[in-house]
Amino acid sequence: MGRLTIGIMLNQLEGRYQQLFWQGASAGAREAGVDLVYFLGGEPGRPGESPLKSAAYRLADSAVVDGLVVAAHALKTKGGDSALARAVSLFPKVPSIFISQPFEGGASFLAENEGGIAAMVEHLAARHGRRRFLFVRGEESHLDGAARSDAFRAAMERLGSAVERWEMIPGDFSWRSGHDAVFASFSREGEVPFDAVVCANDEMAFGALEALEALGIAVPERVSVTGFDDVIEAALATPPLTTVQQPVCEMTRDAVIGLSRLFREGTPVASKTFPSRAVFRESCGCLPSYINSPRTESLTQLCLGLGCGTEEARDIEATFLRFVRDLAQRRPVRDEMLSFFQTRLLSALRRGSDLSLWRSGVSSLRRLYLDSVGSEGAFDSGALLVFNELNDLVGEYALISLQRSFTAVHHKVYRLKEALERLTDSTSVDDLVRGLAEWVPQFQLKELYLLLYPEPQATVESFAAPPGRVRLFLRVTDGHPWIPGDPIEFDPREILPREEWNRSERRQFFLSPLISLDVTYGYLLTEIHDREGRVSDDLYVQTLQSLIGGALRNVYSHEEKSRAKESLAEALRRVEELSVHDELTGLLNRRGFNSLAERDLEVARRNGTGFVMLFADMDGLKGINDRFGHEAGDRAIRLIARALRESLRETDIVARLGGDEFVAMVADEDAEMAAGTAARLRERIAGVLDSLSIREGLPFPVSASLGILYAGGEEMKLPLEELLKKADGLLYAEKAARKGTAFKVRQEPDSGMSLGKG
């Protein structure tokens, strides 16, 4: 039997869950000696996401894929079980393993919630003496949400009289629900009814942390806060968040190995459950891990994490222990220790290793020294000074590592900008291919293949089938580009021409559809490795997909070149803000708003869906500036910006046009809902402004006048500038009316329904 190829169905590469997913799969592939192809197809049904993305999942039904590992949780997040069922139904004969969600038709690898929640609650009670618990639960219809609620309830029952009181409050896994739960449960007069807030996910925990800070309740001194999922932001929170980590790496690793054994040995893959693990950080009251970890474990981890052989790691550990003995016997080893650590730190810096292990190692050595001098305390200040100097040395190199990372990102951004300019100027496929052949070798790309359909495919159907043929236009291998004299045409179910697929050894490919707006052009295969052979740097995979997709739109429709540039600039939004944001508030500026609003306006016209245009003008800015100064005025403007952003959906476009003027575009509205939308917006914005004003402790009220225009039917054909003028006119009509009155709906004969002040 030849080499096996396992397909990985994953929504994207960004995010803690996704990174753990593909890191585990990569480890399993190395151990089992199989190839991997990641089909990056987005989340079916997600608002604002092109349904064409999910066309990548159709390519999982390919001639080269022997089995599938499906990120079921990620695929059904927005589209529900029906989207997952639709995706899997496309290839019923391919053996599949589903991660994180049970599903008929294949084995399921599930992460249990009970152990992590139980360990978390028992830790809070036993280690930190917490006795009054508030649990912010997730959606009860969600499998994990219900399981975590049940686990918390069971933990409370086990603790019995050790708990004075506990309460469960509804949540929906959003930041807002965690924030609001705390405000609803904690008194503003200083009363603290709970000393532990346990949230069913990290996002709600972040909201709880911010609410407690606004109420002046210290975490973790007065209240412990915990989450679940261990997203990448958890370790960066203030304070770092205690949470529960699901064994995503272990599940995907075992899934890849299990499928390989199924084909090679005939061993069937059975469903199983993996235990979750509590991760204790400062938000519950624990000390940082490098201080709180067992001394022998952290020292061993340091030696094993040096990136050297086992024998060398043993020699290093022996040297560390000799240093401790010499210090205990008051031998002068300071210079030798500092020199030894500096050499090893330089080596770790060159390899890009995690320097946080070294801080843990220094802490372990210090503890070993204190133990070695005995309980009499016969240690000298000079020895302890050495450990302080070692900590300073590690900190200095950690800072260098951080600065190098920022510099590397800056260089990547600069080169991506260069690529953006070159690709934008392409006027033909040949021109684009030549530009990529010149530019792509600058990056750490082991392999790249550009594959295009004979004609662009325009459809709005999810899981759309690819055309019967695809063409290979470019291959870049280890920095060497190759452009075939004539594009090689083949069946896309082969993923690559057979001779290309068999050309090299083990592969781990990322397959990303090339999409721009409502058109798909083909797909991109990339394999990125660092010097140690580990898949790394997903920045390029996501950015290349958007860059090339946008450039292809320009190629195939040269008269839409300006729009293609905007689409390409949007692809780089994650990498750097390209002069489309307002410096004071962080919102879009006029240029950014016009770019995105024109795009959404085109989509609305094509789909026949109405939208709401909101114009906002801050009340009394001049008076605030005159009485309290321009810095206070800037604070008030930022408050308006935050209120608008928090009151609207993530998919809505919000911008500051300048001064105290703001604008927002709320898509997917209909005439029947328009009146309710206006009332909700007015009430929500006013409520958020009141909450933020109290939290910020401003000595003046902050309010805004609103003009809200519903655009449907014929009004949708108006230019964007005309729609803005109409919404602006409604705003000034409100300013002329008495403040504080509610919005009402009126019918204007010449323009359809509009929303404004009565």
Strands (E), 478-530: 480-482, 488-490, 508-516, 519-528
- Average pLDDT (622-629) is 89
**Structure-token pair, residue 669:** 């509205």
Helix (H), strand (E), coil (C) string for 546-615: HHHHHHHHHHHCHHHHHHHHHHHHHHCCCCCCCCCECCCCCCECHHHHHHHHHHHHHHHHHHCCEEEEEE
Taking only the tens place, the pLDDT of each residue in 249-283 is 899 999 999 999 999 999 989 999 999 989 999 99
pLDDT band of 538, cuts 50, 70, 90? low
CA distances 532 to 222, 269, 367, 562, Å, are 45, 31, 33, 41
Structure tokens given for 368: 């070993």
Give residue-wise pLDDT tens across range 491-528. 888 888 888 877 656 678 888 888 877 788 888 888 86
Reported confidence tier of residue 391, pLDDT bands at 50, 70, 90: confident
Whether residue 530 is predicted with pLDDT greater than 50 in this model: the reply is no
Phi, psi angles (nearest 5°) of residue 176: -60, -40
SS3 513: strand
- Give the rounded percent of residues in the chain with a pLDDT score beyond 90: 23
pLDDT at 466: 80
**Rounded mean pLDDT, 37-41:** 86
User: Considering the entire predicted model, what is its pTM?
Assistant: 0.59
**Three-state secondary structure call for residue 624:** helix
Q: Is 33 left (phi over 0), alpha (psi -120 to 50) or beta?
A: left
Of 216, 164, 233, 169, the closest CA to residue 195 belongs to 164
| Averaged pLDDT, 468-484 | 89
At residue 758, the pLDDT reads 32
Stretch among 152-156, 297-301, 324-328, 358-362 having the lowest mean pLDDT: 297-301
Please state which CATH number belongs to domain 5-112+248-279: 3.40.50.2300
> For residues 745 and 753, is the Cβ–Cβ distance under 8 A?
yes
What fold characterizes domain 425-571? Beta-Lactamase (3.30.450)
Distance CA(113)–CA(148), nearest Å, equals 6
User: 308 versus 442: which is more confidently predicted?
Assistant: 442
Cα separation, 669 vs 613, in Å, equals 10
DSSP 443: S
Q: Measured on CA atoms in the order 627, 630, 631, 637, is the torsion positive or negative?
A: positive
CATH number of 114-227: 3.40.50.2300
Q: Say whether pLDDT at 472 is over 90.
A: yes
- Residue 573, pLDDT score: 55
Q: Distance between CA atoms of 339 and 320, rounded to whole angstroms?
A: 13
pLDDT digit string, tens, across residues 399-436 = 888 777 767 666 766 776 676 667 777 778 888 888 88
- Please give the average per-residue pLDDT across 440-468, as a whole number: 79
Q: Please state, in angstroms and rounded to a whole number, the distance separating the CA atoms of residues 682 and 615.
A: 12
Q: What is the pLDDT of residue 309?
A: 64
Same fold across 5-112+248-279 and 114-227: yes
Residue 377 CB burial class (10 angstroms; 0-12, 13-18, ≥19)? exposed
pLDDT single digits (tens) 159-211: 999 999 999 999 988 999 999 999 999 976 567 899 999 999 999 999 999 99
Query: From CA 758, how far away is CA 742, in angstroms rounded?
Result: 8
Task: Look at domain 590-757 and name its CATH class.
Answer: alpha beta
Q: Break the chain into its structural domains and give their ranges.
A: 5-112+248-279, 114-227, 294-404, 425-571, 590-757
- Give the number of other Cβ atoms within 10 Å of residue 657's Cβ: 20
**Residues ≥6 apart with Cβ < 8 Å to 221:** none
pLDDT digits (tens, 9 = 90+) for 322-333: 888 888 888 889
For range 708-724, the mean pLDDT: 86
**Is pLDDT at 561 greater than 50 in this prediction?**
no
What are the DSSP calls for 164-207, one per residue?
A: SEEEEE---SSHHHHHHHHHHHS-TTS----SEEEESSHHHHHH
pLDDT score for 52? 72
Least confident of 198-202, 225-229, 440-444, 491-495: 440-444
User: Which band of pLDDT confidence, cut at 50, 70 and 90, is reported for residue 663?
Assistant: very high
Residue 531's pLDDT band (cuts 50, 70, 90): very low
Statement: residue 750 has pLDDT above 50: no
Alpha-carbon span 135 to 192, nearest angstrom = 15
Helix (H, G, I), strand (E, B) or coil at 34: coil
Model pLDDT, residue 416: 67
Both tokens of 405, joined, read 């990372």
In this predicted structure, what is the pLDDT of residue 735? Answer: 79
Question: What residue has token string 């929500």?
Answer: 684
